[in-house]
Structure 1
Amino acid sequence: MVISSATIPVRYAETDQMGVVYHANYLIWCEIGRTTLIEDLGFKYADMEREGVLSPVTSLNMNYKFPAKYGESVIVQTWIEEYNGIRVKYGYEIRNGKDQVCLTGTSEHVCVDKETFRPISIKKHFPEWHEVYEKNKK
């Protein structure tokens, strides 16, 4: 199983007046982690889009454990939690520079045809992705 890591500096614009990261910014960081994982596995999401396929979020679960703060960097770790050929569930853990867990969570995605928004089989349309995801799921 591949666990990808991305280091992100906490920017002032991502925080409130107390210097604490606003909760929605964690979702952006998870997207960065997911994109990093896909690239670490040898693919690019943009290539999938060029083929007329999108991968919308169908479910989110975010558990906030400890506040990330301005002036720190966070490390986003991302992996494939579950995969069944159509749906992918990515797992996330975000830690601060003191190795404190700030967030754990998952996001679930399904690949759809860009025109019809109907689900498609990753196994059928992207066999290389399917093989790598099968090998690297938890």
Structure 2
Amino acid sequence: YIPWMELGRTEFLRQYGFSYRQCEAEGYLFPLLTVSCRYHAPAKYDDLVTVETALKAIRSPYLEFTYKITREPDGLLLVSGETKQICTTKDGKPRR
């Protein structure tokens, strides 16, 4: 489920005009500090899922996202989770 959360975050940022590739080219990195994942129900092979991603907070230099992964077509909640990232330079120093 964590890779799906990463894809959700990537697409969320892309919708708002940001791409990880562009950020990295400009010297911004966003390593993960924490990941939490709560399992509510299992996904089964060949299930179609939807990943809902929301920006929970921006507290420079931190970004926090929330996630809900649901099964299609019934909308059953499979997983909820959160991530916290820090914006850094390529040297790993916090960047505000």
Give the TM-score, by structure 2 length.
0.95
d(CA) in 2 for partners of 1:85, 1:113: 13
Q: How large is the Cα RMSD of the aligned pairs?
A: 0.8
Higher relative contact order (CA 8 A, sep 6+): 2
* Deviation string, structure 1 residues 74-110 (Cα, Å, up to 9, x no partner): 0000010111121000100000012110000100000
Structure in which a larger fraction of residues adopt strand: 2
Q: How many residues align?
A: 95
The CA deviation at 1:65 is: 0.4
- Out of 60, 68, 75, the position equivalent to 1:99 is 75
Paired-residue identity, %: 29
The aligned runs of 1:1-138 (5 Å cut-off) are 26-97=1-72, 98-114=74-90, 116-121=91-96
Q: Where in structure 1 are there 5+ consecutive unaligned residues? A: 1-25, 122-138
Larger radius of gyration: 1
d(CA) in 2 for partners of 1:82, 1:71: 33
d(CA) in 2 for partners of 1:86, 1:36: 21
d(CA) in 2 for partners of 1:89, 1:99: 24
Q: Where in structure 2 are there 5+ consecutive unaligned residues? A: none
Structure in which a larger fraction of residues adopt helix: 1
Q: What is the letter of the counterpart of residue 79 of structure 1?
A: A
